[in-house]
Amino acid sequence: MAIEMNRQLFAIKPATGAALIAEYESRTAQSKIAAERARKVMPGGETRTITWHAPYPLTGDKGKGCQFTDLDGNTYFDVINNYTSLLHGHAHPEIEKAVVAQLAKGTTFATAHEPQTELGEILCERVSSVDLVRYTNSGTEATMNAVRVARAFTGRELIIKMEGGYHGSFDDFEVSVHPALAMAGPADAPTPTIDVRGVVRDTVNSVLVAPFNNIDALTRLMERDGDSVAAIIIEPVMGSAGTIAADREFLQAAQDLAARHGALFIADEVMTFRLGYGGMQEVYGITPDLTTFAKIIGGGFPVGALGGRRDVMSLFDARNPNPVYQSGTFNGNTITTVAGIAAMRLFPRDEVARLNALGDQLRKGIADQLETHGLPGTVTGYGSMIGVHLVDGDVRNYRDGAVANQTYKRAVHLALLLEGIFAAPRLMMCVSTPMTPEIVSDIVTRFGRALDRVAA
């Protein structure tokens, strides 16, 4: 019903879609040639499913600050920043300086080294719930290790995640990430689904799924199975599901339920760490047992980390007779950690606040543009992270956003590219520190012009 209503509200003329594609192709001839070449060595010419879009994705050439240029010389405001990780945009001089200086000294050692410790000190200082950290090479490995140590600590195996929650590409978390609504069961008691082919079917027996922002449903689940649950994992603002902020009360309830049942509460701050000096947990005033990080803490390089309570993290301590084994050849390598230190130093409290204010400006500007165009869309998120939902009504969980007309969304994404705005195809956006209020105003104006194109 909701899907049908959205189809009518956001109807797009086939000729408009064809015109957008034709103009994209004519402006990106070099990217088209590059995509054909890439297809010969990579499936679909890409190495990340998420970055592909029809008719072919751009090939980037160089970036500086909040803009980058493609092979055809078209310049874009980057409002996705490699899925929120490029906090300081492209080629920030301070980060470049730190990396170049370290390159001459060696990229990685199978020893401890000072940049690892220094970045760890920064994370422990910023995030009061974090006593100890461990590094990984990606957010996926961070959440995988967080769940593993939670299972080891509690001696239990069940994990609870949110419907629509994304925690990386580890098998346990490829459950109910973007389930087809017809397969997903009741809204207040979702059926765990495996949406990625190749994941072991049994995974659904160790992962329970709860609806986001629904305290009653989570309470019922914990009353039923809580004593077998190792951890509840939640993104304080769901990213993949559409940049949807949790209610503070919901996170507090999750934390309390976990504590009451002897489970751990894991905050996945891989994306949301950019939203507060001490992460989104500081903004909400919650105290997770474990926190996962990635993206911004690597200054643009591959990274992940997990941290938390001393007693839990100490299970990794190799001085123990039987530690939780954690490996990774490039964990905490010098290049990533010196870049991360520079990125964190460039992000003191007043910068966090300035960036969030720019995000608020962008969110409001886009909402105003939708209204001016007579479109009943909803713009979600918090501070520097923004989600645009072409749906009528509130978006408080995965299902609210999943009814969007995908054809319309794709058309807006393509129209944004034609207006020099590089957003995620799912219409997620984030701002970066090289931006100013004037640049955000320009982006809003271009967003309006993109809507004009789609309505044409």
Cite the active site residues: 166, 268, 295
**Binding positions for ligand PMP, 42-101, rule CB under 6 A:** 83
With contacts defined by CB under 6 A, name the span among 95-103, 163-171, 222-230, 362-370 that binds ligand PMP. Answer: 163-171
Among left, alpha and beta (phi > 0; psi -120 to 50; other), residue 106 is left
Minimum CB–partner distance for residue 283 and ligand PMP (Å):
16
Give the shortest CB-73-to-ligand PMP separation in angstroms.
Answer: 29
What is the identity of the amino acid at 134? Answer: R
The correct pick among 138, 193, 369, 380 for binding ligand PMP (CB under 6 A) is 138
What is the residue whose two structure tokens read 């309830």?
A: 253
Quick check: helix, strand or coil at residue 64? Answer: strand
Q: With binding defined as CB under 6 A, does residue 140 bind ligand PMP? A: yes
Nearest to 369 by CA among 269, 453, 296: 453
**274 or 453: CB nearest ligand PMP:** 274
Query: Containing H/E element for 33?
Result: helix 29-39
Under rule CB under 6 A, residue 145 binds ligand PMP: no
Smaller CB distance to ligand PMP: residue 74 or 336?
Answer: 336
What distance in Å separates the CA atoms of residue 307 and residue 453, rounded to the nearest whole number? 46
Q: Which residue has the tokens 């027996």?
A: 205
Q: Vertex 88, ends 381 and 379: CA angle to 5°?
A: 15
- Give the closest residue to 366 by CA, choosing from 355, 356, 378: 378
Q: Which amino acid, one-letter code, is at 253?
A: A
The per-residue DSSP string of 383-410 comes to TTEEEEE-SSS---SHHHHHTS-HHHHH
- Between 115 and 239, CB nearer to ligand PMP: 239
DSSP for residue 314: G
Nearer to ligand PMP, 235 or 282 (CB): 235
Bridge partners (DSSP) of residue 451 are none
Question: Of 136-144, 212-220, 351-359, 379-387, which part binds ligand PMP (CB under 6 A)?
Answer: 136-144
Query: How far is it, in rounded angstroms, from Cα 448 to Cα 439?
Result: 14
* Comparison of 138 and 397: residue with beta carbon closer to ligand PMP: 138
Cβ at position 245, least distance to ligand PMP in Å: 13
Compute the distance between CA of residue 252 and CA of residue 242 in angstroms, rounded to an integer.
Answer: 21
- Residue 159's SS3 state is strand
Interface pick for ligand PMP out of 70, 78, 163, 235 (rule CB under 6 A): 235
- Alpha-carbon gap, residue 115 to 335, rounded angstroms: 9
239 binds ligand PMP (CB under 6 A): yes
Q: Which is nearer to ligand PMP, 70 or 141 (CB)?
A: 141
Residue from the set 70, 163, 174, 268 that interacts with ligand PMP by CB under 6 A = 268
Cβ proximity of 264 and 289 under 8 Å:
yes
Where does this chain touch ligand PMP (CB under 6 A) — which range of 113-121, 152-160, 235-243, 308-316?
Answer: 235-243
Nearer to ligand PMP among residue 31 and residue 281 (C-beta)? 281
Residue 164 CA to residue 237 CA, distance in Å, equals: 11
As a whole number of angstroms, the distance between CA 337 and CA 345 comes to 12
Q: Distance (Å, rounded) from C-alpha 388 to C-alpha 367?
A: 9
To the nearest whole angstrom, how small is the minimum distance from the Cβ of residue 455 to ligand PMP? 31
Q: If binding is defined by CB under 6 A, does position 143 make contact with ligand PMP?
A: yes
Among 208, 275, 294, 370, binds ligand PMP (CB under 6 A): 294
The reply on whether position 275 binds ligand PMP by CB under 6 A is no
Identify which range of 174-182, 187-195, 268-276, 330-338 contacts ligand PMP by CB under 6 A.
268-276
Burial of 321: CB neighbours in 10 Å, binned 0-12, 13-18, 19+? exposed
* Segment interacting with ligand PMP (CB under 6 A) among 122-130, 257-265, 266-274, 314-322: 266-274
Closest contact distance (angstroms) between CB of 309 and ligand PMP is: 20
* Strand, helix or coil for residue 428: strand
Q: Under the criterion CB under 6 A, does residue 299 sit at the interface with ligand PMP?
A: no
271 binds ligand PMP, rule: CB under 6 A:
yes
Which region, judged by CB under 6 A, interacts with ligand PMP, from 139-147, 184-192, 278-286, 392-400? 139-147
Among 89, 168, 226, 401, binds ligand PMP (CB under 6 A): 168
Nearest to ligand PMP of 81, 206 (CB atom): 81
Closest C-alpha to 422, from 173, 70, 118: 70
HSE at residue 301, side-chain half, CA atoms within 13 A, is 25
Q: Which is nearer to ligand PMP, 296 or 451 (CB)?
A: 296
Alpha carbon of residue 51 to chain centroid: 13
- From the list 57, 115, 120, 139, which residue makes contact with ligand PMP (rule: CB under 6 A)? 139
**Which residue's CB comes closest to ligand PMP?**
139
Residues that bind ligand PMP (CB under 6 A): 83, 138-140, 143, 166-168, 235, 239-240, 268, 270-271, 294, 304
